[in-house]
Each structure stands twice: as structure tokens, then as C-alpha cells.
A and B are shown apart, each in its own frame.
Chain A
Amino acid sequence: MAKTFRFQWEEAQGCHVLLYPEGMVKLNTAAGEILKRCDGERSVAEIIDDLGAQFPGADGLPEDVLTFLNTAYDNQWIRLEAS
């Protein structure tokens, strides 16, 4: 996760949110599950495997995850680290 964003569960809204200076992004369930796993430890492949194991019925999961991670990267919510 980028340092300028904070990710947390908001009970009152029933969803994960991204918080940044004076602003907030509400995330849907899928986005929340993906960002929850962006911990600086797991690789993209591991994130996809982990989600696949938890949601076995999800079709096209790798593509969806990559699409979302690209968006997250473009918005500077996450950074890439060489492993």
C-alpha cells in the first residue's frame, strides 16, 4: 500500500475504505479482498492463488485481479516492489 493512503474496514458503512487527505474511497467486496492482501509480502501470483482458494467458484479471477491492481496502481494506492 502507498504511504499516502490508509486502508481500513468501516463498520458503519459495511465496507473497506481507502482514506487519504480529506478524502475517502469506498471499496466493494472484491476490491476490499484484493487490497487486504496487498501487504508488501505477497506477490501478485500469491494474491491470485490465495483469492482462488478462498473463492473457488469465481470465473476469470486472475484477469479481474490484474485489472483492479492496474487501476489501483494508476491511482497510486499501491506501489510495486521488486522481490
Chain B
Amino acid sequence: MSAEELTGRRDDHSPRPGPLPAGEGGRAREASHGKPLWLLAELTYKCPLQCPYCSNPLDMARYTDELTTEEWVRVFREARALGAVQLGLSGGEALVRKDLEDLIAEAHRLGFYINLLTSGVGMDERRIRAFKEAGLDHIQISFQASSEELNNRIAGNRSFRHKLAMARLIKKYEYPMVLCCVLHRHNTDQIEQIIEMAHRLEADYLELASTQYYGWALHNREALLPTLDQVQRAEAIAHRYQEKLKGKMRVLYVVPDYYEDRPKACMKGWGSIFLTIAPDGTALPCHAAGSLPGLTFPNVREHGIEWIWDESPDFNKFRGLDWMKEPCRTCPERTKDFGGCRCQAYLLTGDAANADPVCSKSPHHLELQRRVQAIAAKPPEQTVPLVFRNMRNSKRIIAGGS
């Protein structure tokens, strides 16, 4: 899992600072077992883009049996009855689903605030208008870079000009627009141009999301990890623009956690507010949790959402504090960051109940730092090639290739 705030994106998760004087405090925050306020519907893993940092599972080619329109509508209805209010329609590329307009209309009738998280490829003015009529609230469009050449190289297709046209149409139809760009070694140095581009396109929010290493991103980590110099420079520029564009465009910068010494409060805690449904109906506490061993995860085809959320052993597995080991168990910050990310703990230490090794208190922290330094120190000519995210590569990896 890889999120820290109320967001439903697949390749990053950044804060949308929700202020609050008059409320109970900003973004929805619940105790260890609250309501699934955030429902992320990964409608399909099909995608016309091939971004090598995608957080979809490497074995996505296995997910061929997608939920039908009726099955998704039942998921929406049951989650809404449990208190879900933010709905993310994602993928893959959600636009691949021909029934997207119908799903939006139904979710709107149920009272969801509906976020479409998209590359823009598969969109045109007719669909943008139809989505509006159906009740879509917000569109988040991704860019891979600020230059056509790099955008298209990372996306693995010629999508840059189309994305520009779609961003303008999104504003023409008066949607709030979030422009999202995932940062890594290849585009971090363009950060200033990316911010200027988003501002010119009149984005309401810009999410500069450092790559988080799950799924395809972990597979490509050696080729994607930026150097500490790059990160520090990007962070300074992002902060400068946050001040400069105050009141015009909100710039959200998600720090790369490999360079941190405290872990993120991933997903606000396991089974706390996030519920992800994969294309085949598998229910997950976050979109990366499918990689954890020893968990089977319930499927909406076999169980209702209420049982999945409240009763299923997998959603209860890392709730609360009882599952923790040292150093988390006695750490004063355990109720703040919940020991970090379970997936990262597993992927980097082999045990999901360990402290996230991003934390300097983790016995694995030094080893992670050494690994990060070794990767970042490699000169550009020694960088390994990117493995692009597509079904062909997924099938090859399933078959045991690399």
C-alpha cells in the first residue's frame, strides 16, 4: 500500500490538505476501524499507456474476468450504504470501459463525489460532455512530463498533444482539474516546466508525486530512483511555487519516502478508510496489498461489502496496534504513522508486520539506505533499461521472465 492521505490514485497518494476550523479536523480521519470513506474502483487493468512506474500488479494479465456493470453498481450501492462518499474510478485506464457513463450516472444517483483518474487517452469532447451530464465531479489527468518527447517515451505512446487538448476541454466544461505527474529520475529535472505547464492549463491542483516503489515501479526501481541531489532541488522548486501560486493553483509535492527517515501513515492505517476493488472483484485495503503473501483477500462476487470491511480476516489483520512488533509496539509515534506501509515492510524485509524500513528506528533502515545510495550513485550510462507496463511483459513475468 502506498497512500498517506485521502486520495485514490494508483501511482501516488498525496495530501489534499483539508483545513478545518469548524469541523472535526480536515480530511476524514477515523479510528482504526472507521468507515470505508474512500472507494477506489479499478475498473480494468487494460491501458493504452505503458508507464514503467505503474502501481498495478505485475501479474495484471491474470485479471481477465472483469466485473460487469451490474456487479459494479452493487459494489457502489453497498459501499455507499456503509458510508463511502469519495469514489475513484481508475484502472488501468477507466476510459476503456464502455459502460463508464452508466457507472458514473449510477454512482451520482447514490450520492458519491466521483473522481475520474485518467490518462485522457480514450477521451474526447463528446465523452467529457456525457460524463458531466451523468454527474462526474472531478477529473484528474496524468502527464508523464512537460516535453512531448519525454512524455511519449515514458507513456509508451504518442499521447502528449491529446492530453493537452483534453486538459483544455476539462476546464472548458468547468470540472475541477487535478493534473498529476509522477516524478522519477528521468523527469524530476523538468519540475519547473511541469509546474508552468499545469498553471498554463489552469489546473486547480497539481500533484507532483514521487514514484513509490510497488508493482511495476519496484520492478524498475534501479532505472527510476532519482538521486538525492535531484530530489533536493525538486523539493526546493516545488516549495517556491507553492508560495508563488498560492490562491491560484495548489501544488502538492509528495516526497519520495526512500529518502525520508519517518514512514508515511500509509492509507491512514490498514482497513481504516480505504477500500480498493480490483477489476476481478478482489477487495483490498490498498491497491498494492495483493502482493502480500499469506492473505487471500475476499472477492465481492462471494461476499457483501459489509462483511468484507467489518468481518473478513484480511481487513482485520493489521487493524489497531496489536499486530505490531518492536520497534513499533512501544514507539510513541505508532498511533501517528501506524508503523508505515505493510507492503513496503514486506517487500523490503520479507515480513509485513515489521516496521517500514523507511523508519530510522527499523533495523533494516541502514540496509535500505545503502541500497538506495548504490542505485543513485550509478552513472547514467549504467542505468538499466525500463521495463514497460504492458500485457506482453506481464505475461513474460508471470512465466518467470524478468
Chain A residues closer than 8 Å to B149, beta-carbon distance: none
A83 within 8 A of B: no
Interface positions of A from 14 to 35, Cβ below 8 Å from B: 17, 19-28, 30-31
Q: Number of B residues contacting the other chain (C-beta, 8 Å)?
A: 37
- How far is the CB of B207 from the nearest CB of chain A, in Å? 9
Q: How far is the CA of A17 from the CA of B25 in the complex (A)?
A: 11
Chain A residues closer than 8 Å to B21, beta-carbon distance: 68, 71
Grouping DSSP codes into helix (H, G, I), strand (E, B) and loop, the A interface class, with mixed when no group exceeds half, is: mixed
Chain A residues closer than 8 Å to B20, beta-carbon distance: 25-26
Contacts A10-B83, A10-B85, A13-B35 given: A23-B23 contact, CB under 8 Å? no
Chain A residues closer than 8 Å to B6, beta-carbon distance: 22-24
A6 within 8 A of B: yes
Task: Identify 20 new A-B residue pairs, CB closer than 8 A, beyond the known A3-B176, A20-B16, A22-B138.
Answer: A3-B174, A4-B204, A6-B113, A6-B137, A8-B111, A10-B83, A12-B35, A12-B85, A19-B86, A19-B113, A21-B137, A21-B204, A22-B8, A22-B88, A23-B7, A25-B19, A25-B26, A26-B25, A26-B28, A28-B22
Q: How far is the CA of A17 from the CA of B86 in the complex (A)?
A: 11
Q: How far is the CA of A8 from the CA of B108 in the complex (A)?
A: 13
Count of A-B residue pairs with CB < 8 Å: 86
Q: Can you report 25 A-B residue pairs in the complex whose CB atoms are below 8 A from each other?
A: A6-B137, A10-B85, A12-B35, A12-B82, A12-B83, A13-B83, A19-B85, A19-B137, A20-B16, A20-B113, A20-B138, A21-B140, A21-B178, A22-B7, A22-B8, A22-B115, A23-B5, A23-B6, A23-B18, A24-B85, A25-B19, A25-B26, A27-B22, A31-B23, A71-B22
B23 and A26 form a contact (CB under 8 A): yes
Q: How far is the CA of A18 from the CA of B236 in the complex (A)?
A: 31
0/1 string, B265-288, CB within 8 A of A gives 1: 000000000000000000000000
Q: How far is the CA of A21 from the CA of B8 in the complex (A)?
A: 10
Chain B residues closer than 8 Å to A4, beta-carbon distance: 176, 204
- How far is the CB of B328 from the nearest CB of chain A, in Å? 28
Interface positions of B from 158 to 176, Cβ below 8 Å from A: 174, 176
B27 within 8 A of A: yes
B24 within 8 A of A: yes
Question: Contact residues of A with B, CB < 8 Å?
Answer: 3-4, 6, 8, 10, 12-13, 17, 19-28, 30-31, 68, 71, 75-76
Q: How far is the CA of A22 from the CA of B88 in the complex (A)?
A: 8
Contact partner of A21 among B27, B81, B115, CB < 8 A?
B115
B37 within 8 A of A: yes
B82 and A68 form a contact (CB under 8 A): no
Chain B residues closer than 8 Å to A26, beta-carbon distance: 20, 23-25, 28
Chain B residues closer than 8 Å to A23, beta-carbon distance: 5-7, 16, 18, 27, 86
Chain B residues closer than 8 Å to A30, beta-carbon distance: 22
Grouping DSSP codes into helix (H, G, I), strand (E, B) and loop, the B interface class, with mixed when no group exceeds half, is: loop
0/1 string, B6-20, CB within 8 A of A gives 1: 111100000010111
A25 and B205 form a contact (CB under 8 A): no
Contacts A12-B35, A12-B83 given: A75-B19 contact, CB under 8 Å? yes
Q: How far is the CA of A25 from the CA of B27 in the complex (A)?
A: 6
Chain A residues closer than 8 Å to B18, beta-carbon distance: 20, 23-25
Contacts A6-B137, A12-B35 given: A28-B23 contact, CB under 8 Å? yes
Q: How far is the CA of A27 from the CA of B28 in the complex (A)?
A: 11
- How far is the CB of A14 from the nearest CB of chain B, in Å? 10
B176 and A20 form a contact (CB under 8 A): yes
Which of B8, B85, B174, B178 counts the most chain A CB atoms within 10 A? B85
Chain A residues closer than 8 Å to B176, beta-carbon distance: 3-4, 20-21
Interface positions of B from 92 to 149, Cβ below 8 Å from A: 111, 113, 115, 137-138, 140
B24 and A28 form a contact (CB under 8 A): yes
Q: How far is the CA of A65 from the CA of B38 in the complex (A)?
A: 31
A-B CB proximity, top 10 nearest: A12-B83, A31-B22, A23-B16, A19-B113, A21-B138, A4-B176, A22-B7, A26-B23, A23-B18, A25-B18
Contacts A12-B83, A71-B21 given: A24-B137 contact, CB under 8 Å? no
Q: How far is the CA of A68 from the CA of B111 in the complex (A)?
A: 26
Which of A4, A24, A28, A75 counts the most chain B CB atoms within 10 A? A24
Q: How far is the CA of A27 from the CA of B204 in the complex (A)?
A: 23
Chain B residues closer than 8 Å to A21, beta-carbon distance: 16, 115, 137-138, 140, 176, 178, 204-205
